[in-house]
Amino acid sequence: MDLSNRVAIVTGSGRGIGRAIALKLAEVGATVVVNDIGEASPVDSVAEEIKATGGQSLAVLADVSKSQDVARLVETTVSTFGKVDILVNNAGITRDQLIMRMSDEEWDKVLSVNLRSVFLCTRAVVRHMIRQRWGRIISIASIVGLVGNPGQANYAAAKAGIIGFTRTIAKEVAARGITANAIAPGFIDTEMTQRLEEDWKQQLKKQIPLGYLGSPGDVAEAVAFLASEEARYITGQVLSVDGGMAGAWL
Ligand SMILES: NC(=O)c1ccc[n+]([C@@H]2O[C@H](COP(=O)([O-])OP(=O)(O)OC[C@H]3O[C@@H](n4cnc5c(N)ncnc54)[C@H](O)[C@@H]3O)[C@@H](O)[C@H]2O)c1
């Protein structure tokens, strides 16, 4: 895999899976725009890490659920590096609650950060990709969007939405040399899952055929492949990176 001369934006890449994706894309030669929203996820240090290994990178703080921030993120990328070839829609949050108790705010916030952001970022990059007749849009969905999970109606709806969106965009832009795919990670060891209670984690672990949690790097490898020239004939797909977990239900 060689992504030299490719420019990538990875949303929510100040930590966790996004950070691993940013580092992996840089490792195989891409210039990477590291995006995140706040101080808890230090974009500057990820960008510095990439530069320290000889790569090109830029940190851009932006809330990807907001139209103006997304416009600034994409414009900064294009004015700094001349183009955008790869978009990885990774930013995501959870606000878990059983449906009876779920507030309007918990619903709206999760749909906004996890799904509206994918629409805003994709719309903003597609016009640049169409002009150059090459592009890769890779969105991080979830196993929860495929099989559901109690307490996560908002998150499941957003992640299932990403899958429908991806299948549609793939058809809309296929003739322009752009592919769109989703990745459905299972249970990955990040700060998002470290918050779960220990006995719930043990229960979940029993449902993973491979018997262990995935690492952010496992997701990053799949993203790098889908971003590569080698994956040119793959579009509109959902790739599970879950240790066999979804197969138990689907
Ligand atoms: N960890 C898992 O087991 C798992 C499983 C399936 C899917 N996912 C998905 O993978 C993605 C990454 O998850 P993670 O586990 O690394 O989570 P994480 O919480 O460690 O990282 C998410 C990052 O997104 C950033 N972010 C949140 N809102 C943002 C916004 N509005 N604009 C820009 N950045 C924003 C956060 O600051 C954070 O740095 C998410 O979309 C998540 O839903 C994770």
* pLDDT of residue 175 exceeding 90: yes
- Cβ of 240 less than 6 Å from ligand 1: no
User: What is the Rg, in whole angstroms, of the alpha carbon atoms belonging to the chain?
Assistant: 17
Quick one: pLDDT at residue 159?
98
Instruction: Assign 247 a pLDDT band (cuts: 50, 70, 90).
Output: confident
Question: Is any atom of ligand 1 closer than 6 Å to the C-beta of 15?
Answer: yes
Q: What angle do CA 63, 65, 71 make, to 5 degrees?
A: 70
The pLDDT of 166-185, averaged and rounded, is 98
Return the residue matching tokens 């970022």: 121
Query: What is residue 132's predicted lDDT score, i.e. its pLDDT?
Result: 97
d(CA 91, CA 86): 15
pLDDT level of residue 45 (50, 70, 90 thresholds): very high
Select which of 81, 155, 165, 187 is catalytic: 155
Specify the pLDDT at position 101.
Answer: 98
By most ligand atoms within 8 Å of CB, the mutation choice from 17, 69, 120 for ligand 1 is 17
- Residue-level pLDDT at 200: 82
Going by CA atoms, what residue is nearest to atom 36 of ligand 1?
12
Domains in the chain with CATH codes: 7-243 (3.40.50.720)
CA dist 108 and 114 (Å) reads: 10
> Ligand 1 centroid to 109 CA: how many Å?
13
* pLDDT surpasses 90 at 68: yes
- Please list, in sequence order, all residues whose beta carbon lies within 8 angstroms of the beta carbon of residue 205, skipping any fewer than 6 positions away: 187, 211, 212, 213
For residues 53-83, b (16+ Cβ closer than 10 Å) or e, as one string?
A: eebbbbbbbbbbbbeebbeebbebbbeebeb
Residue 140 has pLDDT above 90, yes or no: yes
- Is the pLDDT score of 144 beyond 80? yes
Q: pLDDT at residue 42 above 80?
A: yes
Quote the tokens at residue 223.
């993203």
Q: What pLDDT was estimated at residue 198? A: 87
Determine whether 155 is an active site residue.
Answer: yes
Residues with Cβ within 8 Å of residue 245, at least 6 apart in sequence? 143, 186, 187, 207, 208, 209
pLDDT in tens, 83-135: 999 999 999 999 999 999 999 999 999 999 999 999 999 999 999 999 999 99
Question: What is residue 197's predicted lDDT score, i.e. its pLDDT?
Answer: 85
Condensed to tens digits (0 to 9), the pLDDT of residues 176-231 reads: 999 999 999 999 999 888 888 888 888 888 999 999 999 999 999 999 999 999 99
Q: Tens of pLDDT along 7-39? A: 999 999 999 999 999 999 999 999 999 999 987
Name the strand (E) or helix (H) holding 194: helix 191-194
Amino acid at 81: F
Write out the DSSP string of 92-119: -----B-GGG--HHHHHHHHIIIIIHHH
Residue 40: is its pLDDT beyond 90? no
CA distances from 54 to 18, 44, 46, 131, 136 (A): 20, 15, 13, 29, 24
**Amino acid 35: pLDDT:** 98
